[in-house]
Every structure is written in C-alpha cells, then in structure tokens.
Amino acid sequence: MKSPSSSTIFTLFSFLFLSSFQTITLADSHQNFLQCLSLHSENNATSNISQVIYTENNSSFSSILEFSIRNFRFSTPTTPKPLVIITPSQVSHIQEAIICSQKHGIQIRIRSGGHDYEALSYVSDVPFVILDLIYLSEISIDGENKTAWVQSGATIGQLYYRIAEKSKTLAFPAGVCPTVGVGGHFSGGGYGFLLRKFGLAADNVVDALLIDVKGQLLDRKSMGEDLFWAIRGGGGASFGVILAWKINLVTVPSTLTVFTVHRTLEQNATKIVDKWQYVADKLPEDLYIRLYLTRSNSSSGRTTIRATFECLFLGGVDFLVPLMQQSLPELGLEKSDCIEMSWIDSILYFAGFQGESMDVLLSRTPTSFDTFKAKSDYVKEPIPETAFEGVYERFYEQEAESAVMIFIPYGGIMNEISESETPFPHRAGNIYKIQHLVYWQGGGDEEAERHINWIRRLYSYMAPFVSKNPRAAYMNYRDLDVGTNNNKGYTSFKQGSVWGFKYFKNNFNRLVHVKTMVDPGNFFRNEQSIPPIYSRKKKVD
C-alpha cells in the first residue's frame, strides 16, 4: 500500500482541525446563548425564562420537540435537532430569545401548530433554536362586537370551540383540520369551507401583535400598514414573531347543510368531475363543493378511482337539493344524502368527529400520524376530460395507494378581493386549486424517495393543464421543490423570486420591500423566507 502523501496528511489534519474548531465554536455559541438568556432574566425580575428552556440534557426535550411534529418525514434519527427549545409564556421570553440568538449567531425557528409541510418551523440545516408558542394560546371572544383576539399558539379547533361557546351563529373562515396552529395558518392565508363566502382567515384579520427583530412589541398602528399587509399571507416567519391576531368573526345561519357523496369511475365519476369544473366557481357563494380523487375498490372488487364530493351549504336542505339538481344534476344528489346541522357541528363533521362532543376540538393531538409530501396548483381553464385518464394511470401505480388530489373551488368573494389586497394573490381567474398529496408508512429514505418521485411525476404530468408563468402555488402548502433560498447566507432577489413569484406573484416585490425595511440584516430567515434587497451578508455565517 502506498504511504499517504504530505498533502493528504495536511488535508486530513486540516479537516480534523476545522471539524473540532467548528464543534468548539458551536458549543461555545450554544453556551453563550444560554448565558445571554440567563443574564437577561437576572436583569428582569419578572422573567423566569429558565423555566421554559429545554436543552438535550432535559428529559422533556424530545417529547416537547415531537409533540407538534405533524409530518413524520421530519422525525427521524438523522433529522437535525435544535440546540434549545424555548416555550415562552410571556412576551419578554420572546424578546430575550430574539436578542440573544441574534447576538450569538443562532437561527430562530418559530413554531405555533407545527403543521409546516416541509418542517421549516422545527428543522434547520444550521444551528438553531425553536421558539415554540404552544403555551401562548389565549383566546378572547367579543360576541357583541363580533371580534376576537387569539394568540398564535392556539389551534384553529380551540378558536372554533371558543366561538361556538359564545354563539350559534358566529363563525370564522379558516381551515378544516382542528390541530392546525393559528400562527402559521393566518400568516400564510388559511382557508376552509367558508372560503367562497368570507375569503381567507388572513382576509378577516384586523390587528396583530408582533415582536420585531429589535425585540419591540408592535401592534397594527405601530408596525405600520406595510408590515401589517405582509403578515396577512406573506408568511410570518420572514418578519418577526406574531404573538396574537385580532379577527372579525362572521355571521352564519343557525342551520347549515352538509353532504358527502362518492362516485366511482363506473358511476360516471369523470363526467361529474368534468361538469363540476364548469360550475364549482360560479355557484352561489353560500355553496361550497370540494372534491377529491383517490384510488378505491369498486363494488365488484376491481381497483377503480373514486371522486368524493363534500359540500357545505349556508342554508337548509330544501334550498340545497333543487339548487344541486339545477346546477350539477349529474351528481344525482338526494335529500337523504344531506344532513342539517349547526356550523360547529359541520366543523366536527368535516374533521371526522361527527356526533362527538365539541370538546375534541380542544385537543392538540391529531387523529393520525402522517408521513407525506404535498404540492399545489391553480386551475384557470377546465382540464380536458381526456387528461384525467393520465391522472388515473398514475393513481394505479404502487406508490399511489394512499394518494389524493383535492380540488378546492374558488369564485365567490375570492373574485372580488384584488390580487394585491394581501400578499395572497390567487383571486379572480382561478376556477379551483389542487392539492396533490401522497402518504406512506415509515420505511426509511427509500420509501420516501419512491413516493416523493411519484408525486413529482404527477406534478410534471399536470403542467400543461394548470397555471403558467408562474406556475402558482399556495404558500401554506409549503413545497421546497418550487425553489429555495440559501438558508446559510445571502439570498439574491433573483434566487428568492424563483419560488416567491409562484406563491405571491407580483406581491413578492412588495414583500421584499417590507422585509428590507423591517429586517435588513435577514435575521428572520429560512429556506423560503423573503430576502431583503440590500442584505450583503457574508456567504457563510
């Protein structure tokens, strides 16, 4: 065997030296960060921050980390772990965390409900701390003025519960899954079955409390209209830590109607889906019918495709059935398919808790623990009937056993809100949005790769049929495939715009402007945070 050359020895030595140096500096900045926090807390008689800090040495560290992980793709032994988790119970804890992590070059990841599809709230490829807002979850409802203040760490289920406690006819237009966190959901848009009547959660926000890069607590007035605009759909994590939101509640009838109807290919599913595309966005805004496609077994036991139509109607069954017979007779809806109920019962119904007490909405534990990858698309022209054949072919592939395509109708009030009203630009001109999803059970990296490749193939296949220039996407269905920043350092406008225009269209320019004003040093950053224009950070920090 040849003896190693002096240059090989030098390279090896340099590598070992640099690795140990990096380990020492990382350990140092970790220790310095903790010392900084304790120093701040000594100087502040009411700060008991030491009680809400968890390091790896703490026995609760793993359970706190895992409690709000909602995609098990990011809960593996190799998933990077935070140096520290802080679960603030008061504003000063957030302020201290922001100041100290800035001082010691540690990245902050802000987590409210932990539903980020790509785990940006609890994973990073550089040293990081998690600011987990789970205990900042107060909700106060003002029934008389039809408003509420809700802290970011609350879930939308908890919000729905508190609204229903006060009134049978007040509601809020947000998402379907009750464990979704208010912090990420509102700041990225947030929609559910009331979308066509009342718009997004973000459209109904009227004030907010945010802690900025300097540690200042700001409300709408003191943060100014630009920043207040940015956090209603532009993603909170680029701009600061949003502590709480003031929202307008909406009024709904005391009796609503729901239905869930399944049709397989043998029951004419393709024809019904095709017709749905022509009517779903033009129906009265009181009527919301979403549909989803899955693989299924037909009555003869053959593998087939099933279209499921789910509807919420803001009125009674006697109005709904004739309306359906007139607008989508192909579905063959009958009165017996429909159930009348209150708004809060419709929340339970669509969340899979039909007939259960509304107490289940207070739980933060989901009913299933999923491993998945998702993507989104916007549809501006009906997809030709023949194109569905190609979709079905992909659904028959092995990886698609638990795949689903969800079609979410637009129109209604979404057509009336301008593209630039909030950073969320997907308004008039969209018939519907598609969410592509594939789930699988564990199985390690190989299984993950197979399923992720499957959804990427489906996404490529869909390209001719969906929005173009940009191929638009919904930021709350985070997808790092649409482009990423350099999380370790400087990201140019050009690099950011690759993904930024897909989520925000031309609103990306204003978001960059706001970011440049409020966080020019790019402290609040992640793989898809808005880059400031003039940030000239060194390549690696």
Contact residues for ligand FDA, defined by CB under 6 A: 70, 109-117, 120-121, 133, 152, 175-177, 180-181, 183-185, 187-192, 236-237, 241-242, 476
CB of 373 to ligand FDA, least distance (A): 12
> What gap in Å lies between CA 110 and CA 122, rounded to an integer?
7
State which residue, 388 or 477, has the beta carbon closest to ligand FDA: 477
CB of 230 to ligand FDA, least distance (A): 11
Rounded to 10°, the helix 6-42/91-103 angle is 150
State which residue, 181 or 483, has the beta carbon closest to ligand FDA: 181
- Residue 477 annotated among the catalytic residues of the structure: yes
> What gap in Å lies between CA 88 and CA 167, rounded to an integer?
31
Cβ neighbours for 358, distance < 8 A, ≥ 6 positions apart: 161, 164, 344, 348
State which residue, 72 or 319, has the beta carbon closest to ligand FDA: 72
CB of 460 to ligand FDA, least distance (A): 23
Catalytic residue among 161, 349, 378, 477: 477
CA atoms within 13 A on the CB side of 346: 32
State which residue, 70 or 394, has the beta carbon closest to ligand FDA: 70
Which helix or strand (DSSP H or E) is residue 277 part of? helix 269-279
State which residue, 111 or 197, has the beta carbon closest to ligand FDA: 111
CB of 337 to ligand FDA, least distance (A): 23
Beta strands, E only, 424-473: 432-440
Encode 349-405 in three state secondary structure: HHCCCCCCCHHHHHCCCCCCCCEEEEEEEEECCCCCCCHHHHHHHHHCCHHHHHEEE
Q: Check: CB of residue 390 under 8 Å from CB of residue 464.
A: no
> What gap in Å lies between CA 174 and CA 190, rounded to an integer?
5
CB of 23 to ligand FDA, least distance (A): 27
Residue 191 CA, chain-centre distance (Å), reads: 10
CB of 6 to ligand FDA, least distance (A): 48
State which residue, 250 or 333, has the beta carbon closest to ligand FDA: 250
For 175, the token pair is: 């998402």
> What gap in Å lies between CA 483 and CA 491, rounded to an integer?
12
Q: Which residues does the annotation mark as catalytic?
A: 477
